[in-house]
Structure 1
Amino acid sequence: MSGTLILVGLGLAGSALVARTILRSSGPMAKKMEQSFTQLGKLDYKYYRGGFEPKMTKREASLILGIGQSANKKKYREAHRRIMLLNHPDKGGSPYIAAKINQAKDMMEGSLKL
């Protein structure tokens, strides 16, 4: 049984190497695909690792809205609107996430009681 698994693994690895060799030698198409793969690896997803803090802070609010902590009223309202359009519960978004987005906007406005 384990010998079969090893042979299957070696077969898959060998076929992947053969496919890579064929693609690299196929000319312009291979270069285009290789460029695409390298660009995919360089994409910077603005992903904040970690959950929500127990009490909303201005730092967390700016992270949720994707703006700087010293952003003006127009900027954080635009950010709130854009994010809520994507995450609204009526459009299939999470009510919890929508509440956190609204709480972040309130924090940026300064109307949230500390």
Structure 2
Amino acid sequence: MASSMIIAGLGMATIGFGARFVLRTMPNLGKKMADAVGTFQKLDSKTLGNSKYYKGGFDPKMTKREASLILSVSPNANSQRVRAAYKKMMLVNHPDRGGSPYISAKLSEAKDILDK
């Protein structure tokens, strides 16, 4: 019983001396870490701000603009290009291959709107 108390005390002392050593050798560690986090947040907000991804949700009734954003084609794209984009995206998002039924329905709806 006494030996376990001694070992626990020595372990606590070792942790204390180690922490004291780290704090004395790196006095500006907290400031450096805060600067690094701030730089990362600025970088992250810049890259997300210029993202090519559409930030909004789906409209209640799909518009031609939204359909073109979903399929990543121009609103004035010809039917061949719309069908090629639809096929490419459905290969990845088809429910039989593990994709979402909701997304595949939205892709089909977008193709129908742009293919008219």
Structure 2 partner of 1:59: 65
Q: Distance in 2 between matches of 1:42 and 1:98?
A: 28
Report matched runs for 1:21-60 at 5 Å: 45-60=51-66
Evaluate the alpha carbon distance shift between residue 99 and residue 16 of structure 1 in structure 2; reply closer, same or farther with a 3 A threshold: farther
Change beyond 3 A, Cα 1:54–1:82: same
In the superposition, the TM-score normalised over structure 2's length comes to 0.58
The alignment partner of 2:76 has SS state of: coil
Aligned to 2:88: 82
Aligned-pair distance for 1:86? 1.1
Greater Cα radius of gyration, structure 1 or 2: 2
Note if 1:14 corresponds to 2:20.
no
Gap regions ≥5 residues in structure 2: 1-18, 34-42
Q: Please tell me the residue identity of whatever aligns with 1:82.
A: K
Shift of 1:15: 8.2
Task: Report runs of 4+ in structure 1 exceeding 4 Å deviation.
Answer: 15-18, 41-45
Q: Secondary structure at the match of 1:56?
A: coil
What's the RMSD between the two structures over aligned residues? 3.1
Aligned match of 1:94 in 95, 100, 114? 100
Identity of aligned residues (%): 51
Gaps of 5+ in 1: 1-6, 19-37
Amino acid at match of 1:14: L
Would you say how many aligned residue pairs link Structure 1 and Structure 2? 80
SS at match of 1:97: helix
Pair 14,51 (structure 1): closer, same or farther in 2 beyond 3 Å: same
Opposite residue 29 of structure 2, the aligned amino acid is G
